[in-house]
């Protein structure tokens, strides 16, 4: 079901989220990390902004291809970023099901955002988005005939994958555009993955243990706020992708002795560091990172 610009409760207005998401997308296009950009977003806007930014970035290639058809001369970066976010959110997606927002709501709130961030661009944004809605089928079809629109990845990356993985490159690109599942790491000092799956089932939160390759991993059937996870505040479980959970068991193996010296040279935000200590708490572990600001997150996670 599509949402209103300000849903029930105290959800922030959509135009504010669109503006923040546009700033994030602009930053990513300039080479910055989305994770780092999200730390600059006000806390009350962060969840909504992140959801919009992730969606926009997964559809960015198509949005860029469509914008080139609608406005061959690119507008200023702040305007272009907002326009691309709006186009991406209006993009049809059979796998996603219902749109995040109704078309008219999205256009109205994008124009509202434009009036606040670049007032002279509001009429331009309105005209381009309304034309996109009128001609959406043809514009999307044309965009998806280009590699940029078809794969939503930079051309250099598409070509590299095509050369390195000639039989799998298209499947790799398709998989990388899908939202990943929310995966948890159960603290082995407190519980097992199977026991935690049972705890989640008791509160009607379906999940499954991933298996022996990542023995502490639990995958949720649907994302959930960390505040809803049993034992999260106590450190019994944390959020960590399954791939990142493969490292610590490989290092610890079957017999890394107590007191062994281990260096985590790229430690932030601290997930693998904590995992190592959960599996072998008596390591002489040194955690380093090139970014001093991000290194503080390691300490936060360990605490």
**Domain of residue 124, CATH code:** 1.10.940.10
**Model pLDDT for residues 13-25, shown as the tens digit of each residue:** 999 999 999 999 9
Q: How many domains does the chain have?
A: 4
Q: Point out the least confidently predicted range of 5-14, 81-90, 172-181, 245-254.
A: 5-14
Residue 1: pLDDT band (50, 70, 90) is very low
Are 20 and 136 within one domain? Answer: yes
Whole-angstrom Cα distance, residue 207 to residue 69? 44
Residue keyed to tokens 């034992």: 231
Of 44, 47, 52, 43, which Cα lies nearest the Cα of 24?
52
Q: Rounded mean pLDDT of the chain?
A: 90
- What string of H, E and C letters represents the secondary structure of 172-204? HHHHHCCCCCCEEEECCCCCCHHHHHHHHHHCC
For residue 287, give its domain range.
253-302
The pLDDT of residue 80 is above 80: yes
Are 140 and 96 within one domain? Answer: yes
pLDDT at 4: 46
Task: Tell whether 9 is covered by a domain.
Answer: no
Whole-angstrom Cα distance, residue 213 to residue 198? 20
pLDDT at 172: 94
Task: Tell whether 8 is covered by a domain.
Answer: no
pLDDT at 98: 62
The pLDDT of residue 302 is above 90: no
């Amino acid at each position: 079901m599509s949402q209103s610009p300000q849903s029930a409760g105290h959800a922030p207005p959509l135009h504010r989220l669109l503006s923040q998401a546009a700033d994030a997308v602009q930053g990513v296009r300039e080479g910055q990390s989305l994770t780092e950009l999200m730390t600059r977003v006000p806390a009350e806007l962060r969840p909504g902004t992140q959801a919009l930014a992730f969606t926009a970035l997964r559809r960015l290639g198509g949005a860029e291809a469509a914008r080139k058809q609608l406005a061959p001369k690119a507008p200023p970066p702040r305007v272009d970023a907002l326009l691309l976010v709006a186009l991406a959110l209006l993009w049809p997606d059979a796998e996603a099901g219902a749109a995040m927002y109704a078309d008219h709501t999205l256009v109205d709130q994008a124009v509202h955002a434009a009036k606040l961030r670049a007032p002279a661009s509001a009429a331009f944004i309105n005209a381009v988005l309304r034309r996109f809605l009128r001609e959406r089928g043809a514009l999307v079809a044309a965009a998806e005939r280009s590699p940029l629109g078809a794969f939503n990845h930079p051309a250099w990356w598409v070509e590299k994958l095509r050369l390195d993985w000639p039989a799998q490159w298209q499947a790799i690109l398709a998989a990388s555009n899908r939202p990943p599942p929310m995966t948890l790491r159960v603290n082995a000092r407190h519980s097992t993955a199977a026991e935690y799956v049972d705890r989640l089932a008791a509160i009607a939160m379906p999940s499954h243990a991933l298996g022996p390759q990542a023995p502490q991993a639990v995958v949720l059937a649907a994302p959930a706020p960390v505040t809803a996870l049993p034992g999260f505040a106590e450190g019994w479980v944390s959020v960590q992708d399954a791939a990142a959970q493969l490292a610590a068991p490989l290092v610890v193996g079957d017999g890394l002795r107590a007191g062994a010296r281990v260096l985590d040279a790229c430690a932030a935000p601290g997930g693998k560091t904590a995992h190592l200590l959960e599996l072998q708490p008596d390591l002489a572990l040194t955690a380093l990172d090139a970014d001093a600001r991000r290194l503080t997150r390691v300490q936060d996670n360990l605490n």
